[in-house]
Amino acid sequence: MNHLRQLMIEELQRRNFAATTIRTYVKGVEDFSQYFHRRPDQLGPEHIRRYQAMLFSKRKFSPNTVTLRLASLRFFYIKVLKRNWSIAETPYPKKVIRLPQILSQEEVARLIDAADSPFHRAMLMTLYGTGARRVEAAHLKVEDIDSRRMILHVRGGKGRKDRDVMLSPALLDALRQYWRGLKPKPKQWLFPSRQSNRADRPMSDKVFWHACKQAARKAGIDKPIHPHTLRHCFATHLLEAGTDLRTIQLLLGHSDLKATTLYLHLSQRHLQATASPLDALTLSDERK
């Protein structure tokens, strides 16, 4: 299994897959192997069928998560084992698209004010002020802050793409306050690991998740909140303020404008601007 695992990692690296994708794909194949207590190269289509059914029936995974598990197995069998893969025998489940949870601007302000420390406050403000994904925020470098042009550089985002986003004066001020409290000053990472033996590495992106959860609990916000919630809020609030979809697409780093149109379903400004046809009907007063 160790040999197969290394082969898979090498094949993923050869194709320049992101580190998070590599971890997810390897974990998927390892879980498949552990479920049957056999090496994955000793398993076949019938095992994949049973595994897929189990993910739905026993583990109650979402269709999108099951699709990701199947994608990891498909890559392993085709690229590593050089075997055929039948789409007919292993159909991907129908994708489910759900609208994300959105906070009002007042709720975002409460969330940020409830941060446990200036460190967490700077993290939350960075997520909301730039729309960055948590992995992107965790890998920001000191040199990525361009205070002269008021630009923040997001490097190596999803799809290995760089992009620039606005640097809010409020965010710049918060980052400076956070920076003044750091000892010693980090040489590279804006949010370095707090472990003394790993200070030369970026903060784990899981810390952003915990910062959101702790602040939400302290602020008394009972909605499910995670770092991506602030990214959705960033885009939705920009749209409600009149920013065009194309600009939001560029700020978010979306390859396809279609992905950005999701926020039309979330923007109160756009929803309330459209009258329901019910209001055009002349109805009798049923209370008579």
Q: Which residues are catalytic?
A: 133, 158, 228, 231, 254, 263
- The two beta strands, 151-154 and 145-146, are antiparallel
Locus of tokens 């197995």: 73
Coil/strand/helix, residue 104? coil
Quickly count: other Cβ atoms within 10 Å of residue 87's Cβ. Answer: 8
Dist CA 232 CA 228 (whole Å): 6
Q: Tokens in use for 12?
A: 């993923």
- As a whole number of Å, the CA-based R_g of the chain is 23
Distances in whole angstroms, Cα of residue 119 to Cα of each of 189, 213, 218: 13, 15, 16
Reference 101, options 269, 226, 191, 2; nearest CA is 226
Q: How many helices (H) and strands (E) does the chain have?
A: 13, 3
Token representation of residue 30: 């390892």
- Please give the single-letter amino acid code of residue 149: R
Token representation of residue 271: 């929803």
Contact predicate 209/226, CB 8 Å: yes
Contacts (Cβ under 8 Å, ≥6 apart) of 262: 99, 100
How far apart CA 224 and CA 134 sit, in angstroms, is: 16
Q: Return the closest-CA partner of residue 172 out of 180, 160, 163.
A: 180
